[in-house]
Amino acid sequence: MPGSPSTSSALGWESHGGLFFNYFAAKIDAVFGHDDDGIPADALDRFMASRPAGIQGISPTLQADLVALFVELLNRDEQAIGSTQGFFAAVHREPELLERMIKVGPERQAEFMKLIAQREGVEASHPGLELLVHSLQFATFKAVDRYLASDSERSLAEEYLAVLTMGREIYSQPLTRS
C-alpha cells in the first residue's frame, strides 16, 4: 500500500537481519560490516499477499509460498554465503559472536513465526507451522553445506530444491505400517 510501512520494515527485518539466516545476518554484520542482510520489504510483502483469498486455516499454498521466499533470498545471498565460510573461523576466535547469535536468532524466529501465523490466521505455536518452518530452515542449512562442499554447477537455490525434494520423498511415506 502506498504510504504505509511494509510488513518487513514494521517488524524491523530490514535493519535487523535475515530470515533463515537469522543468525548469519548478525554474524556477517559483526564480522564483515554488511548493513543490509534483511528480508527485502518487497519479498516479504509478496509472501504476505500471496495467500489465496477465502481460505480458513492453513492455506494450500503456504509451503510453496515459503519455498519461493526462501529461494528468492538464497538467490540474493548466494555470493555472500561463500564468503561466510571465513566467518566460522571467526566464531571460534570470538565466542561472543556465538553468544549474540544464540540470543538474536530465537527472537527473529519468533517474529517470523508470528508473521506466518498472522498470514494463516492461526496461532504462532501451531505445530504444523513450526514443523514446516524448521524443516525449510534445516533444508537451507543442508543446501548451504552441499553448495559450499560441491564442485557442481548447481546454484544454491537448486541445491535447496534438491534437498527439499529428498525430504519430500521421505515425508510422503505412510506414517504407520498398516
Tens-place pLDDT, residues 78-124: 777 766 555 555 555 555 655 665 566 777 788 889 999 999 999 99
Question: How far apart are the C-alpha atoms of 69 and 74, rounded to whole Å?
Answer: 9
pLDDT digits (tens, 9 = 90+) for 45-55: 999 999 999 99
pLDDT digits (tens, 9 = 90+) for 126-153: 999 999 998 998 998 899 889 888 888 8
128-143-164-67 Cα dihedral, nearest 10 degrees: 60
Give Cα 122 distance to the centre of its chain: 20
Within a 10 A sphere around the Cβ of 134, how many other Cβ atoms? Answer: 13
Question: How far apart are the C-alpha atoms of 18 and 23, rounded to whole Å?
Answer: 8
63-68-73-78 Cα dihedral, nearest 10 degrees: 110
